[in-house]
Every structure is written in C-alpha cells, then in structure tokens.
Amino acid sequence: MAASAPISKTIYLGAFAHCLSLTDLEVCSKGAIGVDEEGVIAFVERDVGLEEARKRHEGWGGARVLEVKDGFFFPGFVDTHTHAPQHPNTGLFGKTTLLDWLDQYTFPIESSFSDLTKAHRIYSNFVSRTLANGTTTCAYYATRHVPSTNLLADICLKRGQRALVGRVCMDMLSPEYYRDESIESAVADSKASIEYIRDIDPKGDIVKPIITPRFAPSCTADCLSALGKLAKDTDAHVQTHISENTSEIALVRELFPNSTSYTNVYDTANLLTPKTILAHAVHLSQEERKVIKARQAKISHCPASNTALTSGCCPVRELLDAGLTIGLGTDVSGGFSPSILEEVRQAIWVSRFVAMQSPSAASPNNAAKLSTAEALYLATRGGAAVVGLEDRVGGFEVGMEFDAQMIRLGGVPARGEEGETGFEGAGGPVDVFGWEGWEEKVEKWVYGGDDRNCVGVWVRGRLVHSTGRFEA
C-alpha cells in the first residue's frame, strides 16, 4: 500500500521552484533536495551538483538519486475545498446558479452514495484525478452517508493522499430523500465517522476527519450549535460554505433573523475556530472579515466555481490585506476541474476581473491583480495554512515533509518537420524552445500546463502517482 510501503533515502536533483512568501517565488535552476526515510527534508542545496551535495552531507553517498529532466520539482498542491461525490457532474451546470444547481444536479447524485459499489467507483476515480493533477492534500466533502464517507478515507489512506474527509450534515431545507433525520442522528453519524477515521490513521498523518455542516441554509441553528460543541469536544477540523451567492445570503438572513450576518450564524454556533475552513467568502462585509480574522478561521477561494455559477468575484486582495489566511479550492462540481493548477489560473483571471470592475473604467485597479507567484502561494503554502499543515508542507525547507510534484515540459524539435510536433516526447501541452529562462518555464507551465506535465507526485517522500515518464 502506497501509504505504508518503506521508502529509501533520496536526493531529488535538478531545478525546483517554490514560494518563499506571498510575493516571492524562488526558482532554483540547479538544486539538490535530500529526503530521509521518514519523508522529511534533510537538506536543500542550491547551485550544486550531485557529488558536491553528497560531500556536504555525510551518509548520503549511497542515497538513491532522482533527477528531473526538462522540468522542475514543485510543492504538491493543497485543495482546500472540493466535493468528491459530485465528480460525475463535473462540467454540468448550464446556466444555473447555486440554489437551483443544488436541486437539479447535486442532491440527486449525492443521495445515491448509499450504494457503496458506486461510491467506490466514483471516489477511486476522483482521488486518481486529484493525485494526477498534483494535489497532495485535499479537504473533501463526502455525503451524508457514514459508510461511503469512511470508504473515501480508506481510499485516501491507501493511495497515500493527505485528506480531510467530512461526512456532510444537513437537517433542513434539503430534499426529503437526502437529509439527516434529527440533530441527534446528525451528531451521532458525524461522531461515528470521526472515530472511524481516527481509528484507521491514529496520528492523522494522512487522513483526518472534518466536521461538515453543508452550509447554514441546510442546518437548523440547534444543529449548528450541536456541531460546534462536537468540534470542541473532538478538537476536529470544521468546513462549511459562506457567503457564496447573493440569493443564498438573503436566504440565510431570512432563516436566521436573529443573526447579524452569515458569519454571525456560524460564530453563534461556535463553528469559527482556527481549524475552520470557510469556502467562497465572496461577499463578506468588513465586519464579517474582522470576526473571521479574530477567530483565526480560514478561507478557501474557489474562483472556477464562483465564475461558473455566476456567484461573484471574490476580492482576494482585500481579504489578504485584511490579514486572512487563504488557500484555493476546486469546488468540484460547482468548479469544472479537479486541477488546482487550473484554479491558479482562475484565481488570476478573477483578480483581473476585480481590477476591471474598478469604478474608473479607464484605469483598472491594478492593485487587485494577483501575480503568478501570489496565486502559486495560495495553491501551496496558503492552502497548507488553511488545513493546519503550514509547518509540514507547502515548500522545500529542512524539517518539512516532501510533498511534491515533478513537472516536465515538452521540447520542440530543432526543425519542425511534418509529424514532428514536439509535444509527443516529454509530453504535455507546453512547448519549450530552449531559450527560455527558468522563470519563463514556470510561467509557461502555470498558464499552459496540465496533468500531462505532472509526471510524478510524492507525499511524505512516497511516490503516490506516476505517469511512467519521470525516470526517462
């Protein structure tokens, strides 16, 4: 099993890139990253060859060497919000917006996860997809069903993908065929899943449970409070949705007339903790941002979904300036892709739309634009902080664990003869002509790359996905 097979001490040799801070992307053209048998980074050397690196580190002479050719190592992506059971609906949304989309597409597929054979097929395929796209950590919504939620945790553990796996709670405003029967059963089922997941991975190195009230409109105030208490009693992570769409916000106002805001609904239920992930956060007021910051709750920005469902343009720059901790989420199947790299691009597009929404049409608000480096930060270190792993993953530093992807790019033949397309070899959609600098190669990957470029994926130094092309 991927998650438990022993690993050898390995030197990852060649170019690497990672984020040092929100604005600072380091691109090292000649590096050596030493990873020990526990998957922990023992050294990171820059501008050295293999022999020099070995000489500097006693005991590494016999280490296995894995060299990247025509590419670079990059930290694994963190997906801070997605719905595994909705995977078969990817790309199906038409012109719907959030509330009718739930009824038309989402509840029918989720309710079918009482069938474990079906659940196995879909979850296994989706974990394959997220791994293939370089996602080494993923916060998953499952469904209401305990057995299939636990199955998702089993699959993640077996495949070696770090995951937060949440049984979905919903005791109102959901269809009769798909809701928790009572607050007591909602809490008991959530607890059962928490216990199962903690049993299969007691230290929580790979999989952890996460308490998952779907969102305020589908939970009664008492249910939310009971889940807030459960979060405190179990010290578990929490995930939910917030302030995604204006109709949803109006609905929350109507359903919770005593609350001063959407944020206040969760705060009242003690659901805003340092281990809480709030997905979307598109339309938060200044006051709500302050409360979320004070509670140290985290934000999952899901730009593809927000655009596809016409939910709105999340003002990420403002949220960053307000001191909030932000990662990216694919939000399948509101989002239309399992790829965080696609989400990096979508975050950049949304930030440009925010810039173009500036009241002065003649001069876009350029401060709103996210740079490539900033979006990559959100996809790695930002996401790691959202799921509480900022000290363990997200960058290449001594003492951190090696969660990484090997990115390879395609070279274009010197002469472009018919049939010589240049992208069959190393593979993928990115064409490198040979004169590009390393920063430009990273940009080409960000704006043109896909899963074909992600030829190997490691979690804690253990290979969890490979296209077979990384040892060419």
The residue from 6, 94, 202, 257 that contacts a copy of itself (CB under 8 A) is 94
- 415 binds a copy of itself, rule: CB under 8 A: yes
- 5 binds a copy of itself, rule: CB under 8 A: no
Who contacts 471 (Cβ-Cβ below 8 Å, separation ≥6)?
A: 66
| Whether the Cβ atoms of residue 17 and residue 28 lie closer than 8 Å to each other | yes
State the minimum distance, in angstroms, from the CB of residue 128 to a copy of itself: 4
State the minimum distance, in angstroms, from the CB of residue 10 to a copy of itself: 22
The residue from 26, 369, 425, 438 that contacts a copy of itself (CB under 8 A) is 369
Scanning residues 169 to 208, which ones bind a copy of itself (CB under 8 A)? none
The residue from 92, 116, 221, 255 that contacts a copy of itself (CB under 8 A) is 92
- 352 binds a copy of itself, rule: CB under 8 A: yes
- 359 binds a copy of itself, rule: CB under 8 A: no
154-180 b/e (C-beta count within 10 Å ≥ 16 → b): bbbbbbbbbbbbbbbbbbebbeeebbb
Scanning residues 208 to 267, which ones bind a copy of itself (CB under 8 A)? 246, 250
Cβ proximity to a copy of itself: between 117 and 286 the closer is 117
Distance between alpha carbon 408 and the CA centroid of its chain, in Å?
A: 21
How far apart, in Å, are the Cα atoms of 96 and each of 102, 335, 466?
9, 13, 37
| Whether the Cβ atoms of residue 370 and residue 345 lie closer than 8 Å to each other | no
**DSSP assignment string, 269-289:** TT---TTEEEEE--S--HHHH
The residue from 182, 440, 471, 472 that contacts a copy of itself (CB under 8 A) is 440
- 121 binds a copy of itself, rule: CB under 8 A: yes
- 372 binds a copy of itself, rule: CB under 8 A: yes
Would you state the structure tokens that stand for residue 214, as one six-digit string?
Answer: 């779907």
- 23 binds a copy of itself, rule: CB under 8 A: no
For residues 448 to 467, the per-residue mask of contacts with a copy of itself, x marking binding by CB under 8 A and - elsewhere, is x-xx----------------
Cβ proximity to a copy of itself: between 347 and 385 the closer is 347
Q: With CB under 8 A as the contact rule, which of the stretches 87-95, 187-195, 197-205, 211-219 interacts with a copy of itself?
A: 87-95
Q: Is 364 exposed, middle or buried (0-12, 13-18, 19+ CB in 10 A)?
A: middle
Scanning residues 263 to 322, which ones bind a copy of itself (CB under 8 A)? 307-308, 310, 312-313
- 420 binds a copy of itself, rule: CB under 8 A: yes
DSSP assigned state of 135 = E
Task: Give the residue from 262, 239, 23, 41 showing the smallest Cα distance to 138.
Answer: 239
The residue from 149, 337, 405, 453 that contacts a copy of itself (CB under 8 A) is 337
Positive or negative torsion for Cα 171, 172, 177, 178: negative
State the minimum distance, in angstroms, from the CB of residue 470 to a copy of itself: 16
The residue from 20, 40, 65, 90 that contacts a copy of itself (CB under 8 A) is 90
How far apart, in Å, are the Cα atoms of 317 and each of 335, 357, 363?
21, 14, 17
